[in-house]
Amino acid sequence: MIKKFLDNYDKFLPRWTVYTADMIVIVTTFFMAYFIRFNLTLDFDKKMLLIQLPVLIVIATICFFYTGSFKGVVRHTGFKDLMTIFNAVLLLALFNIALVSANKITHLIAGYTIPKSIIIIHSLLSFVALSFYRLLFRFLYKYVFVKKKTAKNVVIYGAGDSGIVAYKVLVNKQEQIFDIINFIDDDPSKVGKVINGVPVISRNKLTNEYIIDNDIHEIIVAIYNIEGAKLRHLVDGLMELKVTVKIIPSFEKWINGEFNVNQIKKVKIEDLLGRVPIEINNPRLNEEFKGEIIMVTGAAGSIGSELTRQIANYDLKKLILIDQAESALYDLQQELRQKSIIGFNTHIADIRDKERMDFIFNLYKPTMVFHAAAYKHVPLMEDTPYEAIKINVGGTKNLADLASVYKAKKFVFVSTDKAVNPTSVMGASKRLAEMYIGCMQKRSNTKYITTRFGNVLGSNGSVIPLFKRQIENGGPLTLTHKEITRYFMTIPEASQLVLEAGAMGKGGEIFIFDMGESIKIFDLAKNMIKLSGLRYPEDINITITGLRPGEKLYEELLANGENTIPTYHPKIMISKTRELLVTEVKTRIEEICVMNLFQNNDHIIAKIKCIIPEYKSNNSKFEVFDQNGIKPESPAKRTGTVATNRYKDKTNNELAVS
């Protein structure tokens, strides 16, 4: 019965009940004040007490209604509630003193001559009693009557402001009991001190023995604005312990400026990037996209879908979404409809189909194009150069040409760091696309802009989802080389940067981003194992498989001979490339698109290496064409086709392009 009452106290314990309880406390403590004042005896005028009590209740009612002290939710009583009670009691005391003093002159209320010592004693007793019964109720609700989950023993790493905020949020959590065992801090001046009754200990005491002895369930990292590299180093050490590691978000991510216990999450791999994510808050984006008809290709992909989500927030005239992946595009369509996004159209289309794309361009006449459609898997494209050239070069050419024909204002191309000093067919195909766009910039009123960045965490086919699947399957994790490194950024961050480039670009730029330090994939794999609550190599091992065809040990953001010029944002730069021989480069890229129809890989790759002299194949069968004097064989004649002329790989045909 009591349990039912407490569970439904909002129904059974309305404000008038709290008010009644408060008045009972006021009357009781008034009697106790007299009892204490007269040496713990009843040797005082009881008739006078009975005259004073009704007046006292009226005054207390006025004071309590004025301050609203009885309106607080009793089971959530906190410091502010106690301050409200203090104000009510203080107001009652002052009111009493004023009334008693006035009554000595006016004699309006016969017998209302309360000694000031009684008023002071009564105030102290009232405040203690009113506070005590509220806190007692809160304690009983939380620890005795209400059904709770098993209490969690927690250690908070960080005894600063963030740690104290985390402590308050945890101890006030109603649905779960958290027992804060210790604060941990690296600052020697804080070690040995006590915060809210919880001792602060040093990091070196945090061992597996300590975890076991104190039955610690979680370590919560609560350090404000910690840099990625420091966080990674800290978490690396903590994950060696047999305990769950969680982290509170940065202040900027608190909901409405307040921190909620539900925001405490397990450390994610994104938290260990080793750099501070690039933040952009450019009001020009609203002006740039207002009233525009924007087309996004590859809209159902990782980058394309996030671009779509962000673009949809602006005041567009129309949003056109293009992708050849039917199911993925359908999912995106349903997501946008569920969010009540209007003014968008989805089209199943292949960017390699120029007639189909021409129809869509003619139908909507987009004013801005964000081109994110591409083949990106290095080993697959190394096996099928035909497809890499057809979509990454031919598809980009189709869109770039149509953007010019239909007078689009801007064309933003999403490239990759693999286009820099390419060692793979995929990277070379993206570099060709960059070069073609550079040529179009010289021949069109459309502004052509390129963005170039590294790997995107969680994107389709990236290493993170692969490692997650391998961990779910019990391992091992497969890694091509122990020393391989990559740059990483998050999907929202990458998409935001693409939009920013679209807004600030004047045409002809290749935007690159400061991605911090490159991350060793071997370390990334070990961290993912630890974040899954497993141990390397005891639970899950890592197998080295060898570099795949076309794969680099490390990526670059600038090609040989390139340098950068700054922009308004310290993390965004513009690559200053060598000038292209526009007519020759454009012609040769167009030739490659035609030659690609005959699907002679050797012939095509040799041609590409001539146009991109820095393209040196790595761990690939096409390395042979990097050696002087070796020429590709003539394409075999096929029924119904005409063989192209033998292409001679002569150094005097090379172009001075980057």
Same domain, 88 and 128: yes
**Which residues fall within 8 angstroms of residue 99, CB to CB, at 6 or more apart?**
55, 59, 109, 112
Residue 347 lies in a domain: yes
Counting residues of the chain whose pLDDT is more than 90, the rounded percentage is 35
* CA–CA distance, 200 with 189 (Å, rounded to integer): 10
Give the model's pLDDT for residue 111: 64
Same domain, 171 and 31: no
Give the model's pLDDT for residue 357: 98
Give the model's pLDDT for residue 653: 34
Provide the edge-to-edge strand list for the sheet that holds 244-247: 194-195, 198-201, 178-184, 152-157, 218-221, 244-247, 265-266
Instruction: Quote the radius of gyration of the chain (alpha carbons, Å).
Output: 36
Residue 397 lies in a domain: no
pLDDT tens-digit readout, 221-257? 888 767 666 777 787 778 778 788 888 776 555 544 4
Task: Return phi, psi of residue 347, to 5°.
Answer: -140, 125
Q: Is the pLDDT of residue 554 over 60?
A: yes
Same domain, 117 and 219: no
Q: What is the pLDDT averaged over residues 400-422?
A: 95
Give the model's pLDDT for residue 280: 66
Task: Return phi, psi of residue 488, to 5°.
Answer: -135, 150
Greater confidence (158 vs 15) lies with 158
Q: Is the pLDDT of residue 297 over 80?
A: yes
Counting residues of the chain whose pLDDT is more than 70, the rounded percentage is 82
Highest mean pLDDT among 7-11, 111-115, 128-132, 258-262: 128-132
Task: Identify the bridge partners of residue 468 per DSSP, sorted by sequence position.
Answer: none
Same domain, 475 and 458: yes
Same domain, 160 and 257: yes
My answer on whether omega of the bond before 537 falls inside 30° of 0, hence cis, is yes
Give the model's pLDDT for residue 45: 76
Residue 245 lies in a domain: yes
Same domain, 228 and 313: no
Number of domains in the chain: 3
Q: Is the pLDDT of residue 422 over 60?
A: yes
Residue 195 lies in a domain: yes
Q: What is this structure's pTM? A: 0.68
Q: What is the pLDDT averaged over residues 320-349?
A: 95
Task: Identify the bridge partners of residue 576 per DSSP, sorted by sequence position.
Answer: 563
Give the model's pLDDT for residue 346: 97
Give the model's pLDDT for residue 542: 95
**Which residue, 241, 267, 293, sits at the end of a domain?**
267
Long-range contacts of 161-168 (CB under 8 A, 24+ apart): 161/224, 162/222, 162/223, 162/224, 162/248, 162/251, 163/195, 163/222, 163/223, 164/195, 164/196, 165/222, 165/259, 166/220, 166/222, 166/248, 166/259, 166/264, 167/195, 167/196, 167/198
pLDDT tens-digit readout, 137-185? 777 766 665 445 557 889 999 888 888 888 888 877 666 678 889 999 9
Q: For position 305, which CATH number holds? A: 3.40.50.720
Give the model's pLDDT for residue 223: 81
Same domain, 176 and 139: no
Give residue 658's pLDDT band: very low, low, confident or very high (50, 70, 90).
Answer: very low
Q: Are 488 and 455 in contact (CB under 8 A)?
A: yes
Give the model's pLDDT for residue 324: 95
pLDDT tens-digit readout, 449-498? 999 888 887 676 678 888 888 988 988 999 999 999 888 888 888 888 89
* CA–CA distance, 253 with 232 (Å, rounded to integer): 20
**Which residue, 95, 111, 145, sits at the end of a domain?**
145
pLDDT tens-digit readout, 336-362? 999 988 899 999 999 999 999 999 999
| Tokens encoding 635 | 């394409």
Residue 614 lies in a domain: no
Q: Is the pLDDT of residue 327 over 90?
A: yes
Q: How many CB atoms lie within 10 A of CB 19?
A: 17
Q: Is the pLDDT of residue 500 over 60?
A: yes
* CA–CA distance, 322 with 316 (Å, rounded to integer): 17
Half-sphere exposure of 542 (CA within 13 A, CB side): 22
Give the model's pLDDT for residue 559: 57
Distances (CA, A) of 529 to 111, 521, 525: 79, 12, 6
- Segments of 340-392 assigned E as strands: 344-348, 368-371
Domain that holds residue 230: 152-267
Give residue 633's pLDDT band: very low, low, confident or very high (50, 70, 90).
Answer: very low
Give the model's pLDDT for residue 224: 72
Give the model's pLDDT for residue 2: 47
Give the model's pLDDT for residue 512: 87
| Chain position carrying tokens 């990559």 | 486
Q: Which of 14-18, 344-348, 602-606 has the lowest mean pLDDT?
A: 14-18
Q: Is the pLDDT of residue 300 over 80?
A: yes
Same domain, 352 and 453: yes
The three-state secondary structure class of 593 is helix
Q: Which of 70-84, 170-184, 294-308, 458-472 has the lowest mean pLDDT?
A: 70-84
Q: What is the pLDDT averaged over residues 103-116?
A: 73
Same domain, 469 and 342: yes
**Which residue, 267, 302, 322, sits at the end of a domain?**
267
Residue 395 lies in a domain: no
Q: Which of 39-53, 93-107, 134-148, 274-288 has the lowest mean pLDDT?
A: 134-148
Residue 96 lies in a domain: yes
Q: What is the pLDDT averaged over residues 529-548?
A: 86
Q: Is the pLDDT of residue 513 over 90?
A: no
Highest mean pLDDT among 210-224, 364-378, 563-577: 364-378
* CA–CA distance, 183 with 205 (Å, rounded to integer): 11
Which one-letter amino acid corresponds to residue 537? Answer: P
Strand 410-414 relative to strand 488-490, pairing: unpaired
Same domain, 112 and 172: no
**Which residues fall within 8 angstroms of residue 249, CB to CB, at 6 or more apart?**
259, 263, 265
Same domain, 452 and 318: yes
Same domain, 139 and 206: no
Give the model's pLDDT for residue 636: 36
Q: Is the pLDDT of residue 505 over 50?
A: yes
Q: Are 632 and 625 in contact (CB under 8 A)?
A: yes
Residue 274 lies in a domain: no
